[in-house]
Amino acid sequence: MPCYRCGTRQVDPDRGESPWRRGVRGDRQVLICPDCQVAFDWTSDLDRCAVCGSVRLVRRLGEAECRDCGAVGQPLLASDGPPEVVIGASADLAAEVESALARVLGPSRQRPPYAMS
């Protein structure tokens, strides 16, 4: 999942806590990259807990849960619509995935899918 503001894709993190943040915007879970956290007031774009006003929400199983107070339910929406989509951010996704698979698995070999040895 890319950063909802700039489209940067998250890479495999180093050990320890990830510098990326997650939140809920337009009732959908989003990620915020470290650069956008510094450059923008990213918390103003996020939905808030209806109970305590926190932006530390996670979205799962059709509900938003506040990580601060534990309230589960529908958040107060910060925006009128769904999260912004960065144009062209996923245009090279197939090539990116193919390259990552080639690095991990090696070059693909032509063989029948159910070949018997």
Task: Read off the pLDDT of residues 15-71 as tens digits, 9 standing for 90 and up.
Answer: 888 888 888 988 888 999 999 999 888 888 899 988 888 999 988 887 888 999 888
The sheet with strand 72-73 has its strands ordered as 57-60, 63-66, 72-73
Contacts of 18 (CB under 8 A, 6+ apart): 10
Residue 50 is assigned to a structural domain of this protein? yes
The reply to whether the predicted model has a pTM over 0.75 is no
pLDDT of residue 80: 45
The number of domains in the chain is 1
Residue 55 is assigned to a structural domain of this protein? yes
* Band (109; pLDDT cuts 50, 70, 90): low
Angle at 54 between CA 13 and CA 12, to 5 degrees: 5
pLDDT of residue 78: 64
pLDDT of residue 83: 45
* Band (82; pLDDT cuts 50, 70, 90): very low
Which residue reads 């320890």 in tokens? Answer: 16
Residue 6 is assigned to a structural domain of this protein? no
Range of the domain at 37: 21-105
Residue 11 is assigned to a structural domain of this protein? no
